[in-house]
A and B are shown apart, each in its own frame.
Chain A
Amino acid sequence: MSGLPQWTPELIQAEIDALKHKPGALLPILHAIQDKFGYVPTEAVPQIGDALNQTRTEIHGVISFYHHFRTSEPGSHTLQICRAEACQSMGSRALEAHAKASLNVDYHGTTADREITLEPVYCLGNCACAPSVRIGNDIHGRVSPEKFDRLVSRLTTRALELK
């Protein structure tokens, strides 16, 4: 769906084995798995625990502590809207409302066509050209509701072309 490979225990193990020798390896491992497959499948937890000599509860505790990590499959694109103060001063509250209404999802939700997962974010460091939005690894500035619609339609048309 998201253009990322489907995880398998072997593929997950390869990510773990590449990093487990680093000091403090857990976050790098979780990042690697999520970057590769779009999320950290629950099934990966015991595998990680075994490699790092930690209990499942400990690994779960870490995953759930950090907002960045997700345990279910996201849509093709993750779209983050900055909710922090500099963006608020430039109309991000209206932008949030527009985004939720036009995509018909709330935060952490995925659109019905599974194209877009909407997430909040607290500052993208683009605070002088607010409001800010991040789609994948691209950040966009001065995002008015109109610019938002353009960005979203570009995403969905591009996705169609790929199919």
Chain B
Amino acid sequence: MTTRIFVPCDTTALAMGADAVAAEIARQAKTRGAQVEIIRNGSRGLFWLEPLVEVETAAGRIGFGPVDVEDVSALVEAGLFEGAGEHPLALGLVEEIPFLKNQQRLTFARSGITDPVSVEDYLALDGFRGLEKALQLSGQQIVDEIKASGLRGRGGAAFPTGIKWQTVLNAPAEQKYIVCNADEGDSGTFADRMVMECDPYMLIEGMAIAGLAVDATQGYIYLRSEYPVAHRLMNMAIERAYAAGYLGDNLMGSGRRFDLEVRLGAGAYICGEETSLLESLEGKRGLVRAKPPLPAIVGLFGQPTVVNNVLSLAAVPFIMHKGGETYASYGMGRSLGTLPMQLAGNVKQGGLIELAFGATLRQLMEDFGGGTFSGRPLRSVQVGGPLGAYLPESQWDTPLDYESFAAVGAVLGHGGVVMFDDTVDMGEQARFSMEFCVVESCGKCTPCRIGSTRGVEVIDRIRANENREANLELLADLCETMVDGSLCAMGGMTPFPVQSVMKYFPEDLQR
């Protein structure tokens, strides 16, 4: 009997040596004459265990991790090929690992289970059922289902997806577009990457449904160039989806059309901002456009365009298949459904945690994360990427939903949580926020372009104890000017982390 062994192939598994582990397992199987099939699955998102090797047994898939090439011999000796679970790296049944078991995975239900580019694997676990259903509905009925789900954009601004689609549906045009924002520039985030590397057909399906909903026949995925693995897997999946009739001019035999292409960004954070992204797709510098007009009305090449984050589009197949109401039964208040959070930085157990809205930040960092990687006390947490505030301990009981975060002057953004232990110098972090804005500003408006440069200089003077009180006052003013006077959230939110340092970690600006 052939034993099925899974070795993940996402960026983090590869970064931790998964290819070498897979090759060594294959080599050992060959020399021993063992009948083994090695499957390169996606990742479960339990990143501290990568490479997480799984073996299929009668009782379910059992895991071993993190596996180094050097461990393979001993694992094989201990009976890896027979599914024996006796080894110091043994984790038991993977689905019983509390980090995974305690999640509510709707979007990431298949992640790590399947071979990401296998159409058969995708079909076996509800794949393309949402598209099948959408093909029987009118555009308006699809939009209504999305509205019923309460889905709000997962890219950061949390705008209701159904309303955005309605605007595009209502806009008359010869050609409309679906643009997927896969620029995922925030530090501490990797959920979009996981969708594209671990379950790419879900994104393809979501975009095709969006196309049917608003009557758009062309889609683009704007993917950051920092994601070479996602680029390769996404392109492979698109090619196979065309071959199998899930893209192209005859979607599932319906006669309806949807074409899809990946376009690479080129290392500019600002191109994650939707209008800058559209400029970039058109082949221009990524200068932010003034709004209005909204991209939904005047978008790509001047046509009505849906711009949605990867996670927003990835939620769509579930919503269409299981119904908007089912999705909306998760969550709280005006934050419905699930939110894939990403736990990163100085964390013992980092990875992807999909939960209904409403858990607290502390539960995430302690119950799931297990505290810091270094074992030192946790001091500060940045949530929502480089434009998000640093939260002190007094705010760690904040529930994870958009409104609760806004109430404490913080943002959930794309769900990235970056933990810092007590060796962090928050003055240095504040300086970096301004420096990042200097590097990444599109340059269109003064408060952002010049303000951030001044911000770095002023923080340098504060940290060097030059005229400290006056410079702290200057920094406070500068932050206000940037918040009030910037055209987009790059300049408008860069002050958030800086202000949070001034307010909650002032001692670090006094040393």
Interface residues of A (CB under 8 A from B): 23-28, 30-31, 52, 61-62, 65-69, 84-90, 93, 121-130, 132, 134, 137-142
Contacts and interface: CB of A to CB of B under 8 A. Distances in A.
B264 A27 contact: yes
A134 B12 CA distance: 12
Contacts of B350: 127-129
Given A69-B266, A127-B187, A128-B347, A89 B227 contact: no
B284 A86 contact: no
Contacts of A65: 268, 285-286
A67 B382 CA distance: 25
A61 B187 contact: no
Interface in B1-60: 11-12, 14-16, 47-48, 50
B496 interface: no
A96 to B, nearest CB: 12
B283 A127 contact: no
Contact of B285 (A30, A62, A85, A132): A62
Q: Would you call the interface of chain B mostly helix, strand, loop, or mixed?
A: mixed
Contacts of A125: 11-12, 184, 189-190, 193, 226-227, 230
A129 B47 contact: yes
B345 A129 contact: no
A127 B342 contact: yes
A75 B451 CA distance: 35
A89 B15 contact: no
Contacts, number: 154
Contact of A122 (B416, B421, B436): B436
Interface residues on B, range: 35 or more
Interface of B: 11-12, 14-16, 47-48, 50, 184-190, 193, 225-230, 263-269, 280-286, 301, 342-347, 350-351, 373, 382, 386, 416, 418-421, 424, 428-429, 432, 436, 439-440
Nearest to A93: B428
Given A125-B189, A128-B347, A89 B418 contact: yes
Contact of B185 (A23, A62, A123): A123
B344 A127 contact: yes
A128 B351 contact: yes
A141 B344 contact: no
A126 B11 contact: yes
Contacts of A124: 11, 226-227
Interface pairs A-B: 9 shortest CB-CB? A128-B350, A26-B283, A84-B187, A66-B266, A127-B344, A68-B267, A141-B15, A89-B345, A67-B267
Contacts of A123: 184-189, 226
Given A68-B267, A141-B16, A127 B11 contact: no
Nearest to A62: B285
A44 to B, nearest CB: 15
A37 B188 CA distance: 32
Contacts of B351: 128
A126 B420 CA distance: 16
Nearest to A52: B283
Contact of A134 (B226, B268, B418, B419): B226
A68 to B, nearest CB: 4
A88 B432 contact: yes
B346 A89 contact: yes
A26 B424 CA distance: 42
A22 B291 CA distance: 27
Nearest to B231: A137
Contacts of A27: 263-266, 280-281, 283
B378 to A, nearest CB: 10
A139 B14 contact: yes
Contacts of A67: 266-268, 439
Q: A30, A67, A93, A129: which has the most chain B beta carbons within 10 Å?
A: A129
Contacts of B286: 65-66
A85 B382 contact: yes
A86 B11 contact: no
Contacts of A132: 15
A128 B285 contact: no
Given A27-B280, A84-B386, A86-B345, 8 more contacts: A84-B187, A85-B386, A123-B187, A127-B190, A128-B343, A129-B50, A130-B345, A140-B15
Contact of A25 (B47, B283, B347): B283
